[in-house]
Amino acid sequence: MALFNASRLLGKTVMITGASSGIGAATAVLFAKAGTNILLLARREDALNSVQQACVDAHKASGLKEGGTFAHVQLDISDRAAVAALWSKVPSSFRDIDILVNNAGYVIGRDQVGDIDESIVDGMFATNVLGLIAMTQLVLRDFKKKQSGHIINIGSIASREAYVGGSIYCATKYAVNAFTVSMMKELVNTPIRVTEIQPGMVETEFSLVRFNGDAKAAKDVYTGLQPLTGEDIAEEIVWAASRPPHVNIADMLIYPVNQAAATIAYRTSS
Ligand SMILES: NC(=O)c1ccc[n+]([C@@H]2O[C@H](COP(=O)([O-])OP(=O)(O)OC[C@H]3O[C@@H](n4cnc5c(N)ncnc54)[C@H](OP(=O)(O)O)[C@@H]3O)[C@@H](O)[C@H]2O)c1
């Protein structure tokens, strides 16, 4: 059986934030395989170029005629003025979005309350919460006008369970969850779909960013177990997007098989 029903995605236009690495990049490539057009957004232009090329290759390999146009725009979603001006930088054929994947987000450090640098607090809220809200508002006005669209927010196990050393990150992801659920309730009388995908441990650049580029500290997070990959989460995102129009996947919590809570994991000693 096919992983997803590509016919439901053919020719759709997908906008993905945080498309330069990890879950966002893998999601872009999988959507490309499914015959969509994609607008890739992130701050790192070089990385966006590489992901765009990977999308071109994936679409070519799929043999599909539909979709297959790709563009990228450098965007810091925490910059409100830049988000407001986004459409002026986007080629006109990418301004009618069908699916928004609000994926950009990060955590810095494991400091506990009382010791957290205020600039880190501000930065995480500005991206994970305010940036996600600004991007959503940007498309939702159009979704309401045309009475269609799908917003897929990337939450986390941290949207459901707070843990020691994660106060700010968890607060941002709880906020994402509250925002997502409120929006889903507000849109109940429309065909617009709202989904939150909540991954557990995924090995991407996430831990490298968390530990300020310390590769060993980042690797240690996954010692003794097999973490999820960006591709594992991309499968869930594209699957949710490819359900029939009357089906809304409200949320999905995805763990590696040896994880059972934010801080409960079984690890082999070797
Ligand atoms: N990895 C995990 O274990 C895990 C678990 C649960 C949830 N998540 C969530 O999954 C999402 C993706 O993370 P990932 O694991 O794929 O990590 P990643 O590889 O570090 O990717 C994060 C992406 O977000 C982008 N980004 C960060 N700040 C941005 C900003 N201000 N403006 C625009 N783009 C920004 C980064 O691109 P640039 O640096 O190029 O801007 C990058 O493309 C995040 O929301 C994260 O919280 C991850």
Mutating to test ligand 1, I would choose from 106, 127, 225, 231 the residue with most ligand atoms within 8 A of its C-beta, which is: 106
- 79 in contact with ligand 1, CB cutoff 6 A: no
Residue 115 forms part of a structural domain: yes
For residue 154, the cross-strand partners are 197
Residue 108 forms part of a structural domain: yes
Closest-CA residue, ligand 1 atom 23, reads 18
Q: How many CA atoms lie within 13 A of 102 on its CB side?
A: 34
Count of the separate structural domains present in the chain: 1
CATH number of the domain enclosing 239: 3.40.50.720
Closest-CA residue, ligand 1 atom 43, reads 18
Q: Are 70 and 55 in contact (CB under 8 A)?
A: yes
Residue 117 forms part of a structural domain: yes
- What tokens appear for 183 in the block? 């929006």
173 is catalytic: yes
* pLDDT score recorded for residue 64: 96
What's the pLDDT tens digit per position in 195-249? 999 999 999 999 999 999 999 999 999 999 999 999 999 999 999 999 999 999 9
**Percent of the chain surpassing pLDDT 90:** 97
Residue ranges making up the domain that contains 59: 9-257
Residue 269 forms part of a structural domain: no
Mutating to test ligand 1, I would choose from 43, 77, 135, 172 the residue with most ligand atoms within 8 A of its C-beta, which is: 43
Residue 149 forms part of a structural domain: yes
Alpha carbon of 103 to ligand 1 centroid (Å): 6
- 205 in contact with ligand 1, CB cutoff 6 A: yes
Band (pLDDT 50/70/90 cuts) for residue 5 is confident
Count the Cβ atoms, other than its own, within 10 Å of residue 222.
17
